[in-house]
Structure 1
Amino acid sequence: MAEADPIRWREAKIRAITPATTRVKSFRFDAFARPHRAGQHVDVRLTAPDGYQAQRSYSIASAPGDPLGLELMIERLTDGEVSGFFDTVAEVGDTIEMRGPVGAFAWEAGDGGPVLLVGGGSGVVPLLAMVRERALTAPDVPMLLLYSVRNAAEAIARGELSARSRDETGFDLTLLLTREGPTAGRRIDRVMIDTAIECLGMPRHSFVCGSNAFVGAVADLLVDAGVRPVTIRTERFGG
């Protein structure tokens, strides 16, 4: 069916805009007719009056079927054409070109667990969708999120994730602040990976998202800790 074609560009209206951190805003859009899987992304395209186009991919933060619509969390980047538009120009009611959802970096209840999630910075966004999906459809699946971010002010959904870790049996959060507090200067290392696996059990699925360097280093640590490479899925952005 044409309506289910993930490649076709569609128009999506911005329903709400709220700050998520000092550099990230949450944008709610009309939901797609084709439901996404937690962890997938959409492509966004902007077209200037002179016909110039800019395009970027953004992970979906909302769980499939969220009644509030599809949520993107967009970080303001220096010289970012698309992120700059969303940061300073976009308003509620604007219509944006979007296509998707796409991507094999995804988890759903039937995949089971235990599930180990490792995110760096804004790379937590698709993992957040998985955390939300677990709460809705598979609360018995063990899941642990290891989240590395520079400081508490930049931690996306920190309050939500902390509350879920406190209130939801089987979900655990380890938040590593790399530039403030007692863990300043520390990066995710083998000790942290071993501790996560001891708490969670050997993961059936591992998802790692962040910068190229972050993902490469964490994937190597997981393999060194005995996690089977075939069970590790990665999503990379930027340098």
Structure 2
Amino acid sequence: MTDPADLRWQEAVIAEIASVTPRVKRFRLRVPFSDRFRPGQHVDVRLTAPDGYQAQRSYSIASAPDASGLIELMIERLDEGEVSGFFADIAEVGDTIELRGPIGSFVWERRDGGPLLLVAGGSGVVPLLAMLRYRALAAPGVPALLLYSSRTREAIIARAELEERARREPGFALRLVLTREPGGRRIDRTAIEAALADLGAPAHAFVCGANAFVGAVSDLLLDAGLAPRAIRTERFGG
């Protein structure tokens, strides 16, 4: 449940900016709640122009809860996106922005157990990345598999980290599906069946991505025999 205090707008300072793909930048923000959010939650960001015009967008937190005083956002530049355009072209270290949160019930914690199936489309991997980072710290014994659909290998968010986790972390498997590479394909029945064969029956399946992606993957999971109550979804426009 979201604390009413988290719905108040507050200031956050940009502490670090780095490019992670040609269209995505990582922003580390100094906030007072870095140790008290749940993996998978998001924040709302609000920008106010000098004439009073405001634009607002929600961004998932990519980092795991810790005492660093920082949270990490991965922000993709969207064509004609007012907020993402600001972060892509204007934002600088030291800038102060408005945000509220943490918000949302699309979350996984150690007490929820596993196995854990995570299915991402594009930037929908961000809240799932938070879950994987948290799992490594708090519940490394929980089996987990990430099935991640990206247009190209270059566009994979946190690719090096994910591949390193797959090599080093027992019980974690990574399956990449590239839609616009030669011979590319989408997540289909075969990909779902292969993931389930590797992981076994998941106690929880989290699916995040564009509306059409989430709808299609949810149907595939239901067809594969998962109970509706085991499937959690988070959608964004597109």
User: Do the structures match in fold with TM over 0.5?
Assistant: yes
Does the 8 Å CA contact 1:28/1:68 hold for their aligned counterparts? no
> Which digits, 9 at most, give the CA deviation of each residue in 1:29-70, with x for residues without a partner?
013336111110000000000000000000000001162710
The equivalences for 1:159-170 within 5 A come to: 159-170=160-171
Alignment partner, residue 208 of structure 2: 209
Please state whether the residue corresponding to 2:220 is helix, strand or coil. Answer: helix
Please state whether the residue corresponding to 1:160 is helix, strand or coil. Answer: helix
Determine the C-alpha separation between the residues in 1 that align with 2:203 and 2:16.
36
Determine the C-alpha separation between the residues in 1 that align with 2:218 and 2:204.
12
Q: 1:10, CA displacement in angstroms?
A: 0.5
Alignment partner, residue 232 of structure 2: 233
The equivalences for 1:21-36 within 5 A come to: 21-33=21-33, 35-36=36-37
Return the letter of the residue paired with 1:67.
S
Structure 1: 5+ residue runs without aligned partners? none
Determine the C-alpha separation between the residues in 1 that align with 2:140 and 2:112.
13
Aligned residues with identical type, % of pairs: 65
Alignment partner, residue 190 of structure 2: 191
Q: 1:118, CA displacement in angstroms?
A: 0.2
Alignment partner, residue 72 of structure 1: 73
Alignment partner, residue 93 of structure 2: 92
The equivalences for 1:43-122 within 5 A come to: 43-65=44-66, 67=68, 69-122=70-123
Return the letter of the residue paired with 1:200.
L
User: In angstroms, what is the RMSD of aligned CA positions?
Assistant: 1.3
Distance change (3 Å), C-alpha of 1:68 and 1:154: farther
Tell me how many residue pairs correspond in the alignment: 235
Distance change (3 Å), C-alpha of 1:68 and 1:159: farther
Structure 2: 5+ residue runs without aligned partners? none
Please state whether the residue corresponding to 2:21 is helix, strand or coil. Answer: coil
Distance change (3 Å), C-alpha of 1:36 and 1:150: same
Determine the C-alpha separation between the residues in 2 that align with 1:199 and 1:66.
35
Q: 1:135, CA displacement in angstroms?
A: 0.2
Show structure 1 runs of 4+ deviating over 3 A: none
Return the letter of the residue paired with 1:225.
A
> Which digits, 9 at most, give the CA deviation of each residue in 1:1-26, with x for residues without a partner?
xx971101100000000001000000
Please state whether the residue corresponding to 2:187 is helix, strand or coil. Answer: coil
Q: TM-score, normalised by structure 2?
A: 0.96
Q: TM-score, normalised by structure 1?
A: 0.96
Does the 8 Å CA contact 1:13/1:95 hold for their aligned counterparts? yes
Please state whether the residue corresponding to 2:22 is helix, strand or coil. Answer: coil
Return the letter of the residue paired with 1:238.
G
Q: Which moves more between the two structures, 223-232 or 60-69?
A: 60-69
Determine the C-alpha separation between the residues in 2 that align with 1:150 and 1:50.
38
Alignment partner, residue 221 of structure 1: 220
Please state whether the residue corresponding to 1:71 is helix, strand or coil. Answer: strand
Alignment partner, residue 133 of structure 2: 132
Determine the C-alpha separation between the residues in 2 that align with 1:199 and 1:133.
22
Return the letter of the residue paired with 1:10.
Q
> Which digits, 9 at most, give the CA deviation of each residue in 1:126-180, with x for residues without a partner?
0000010000000000000000000011000000000000100000000111111
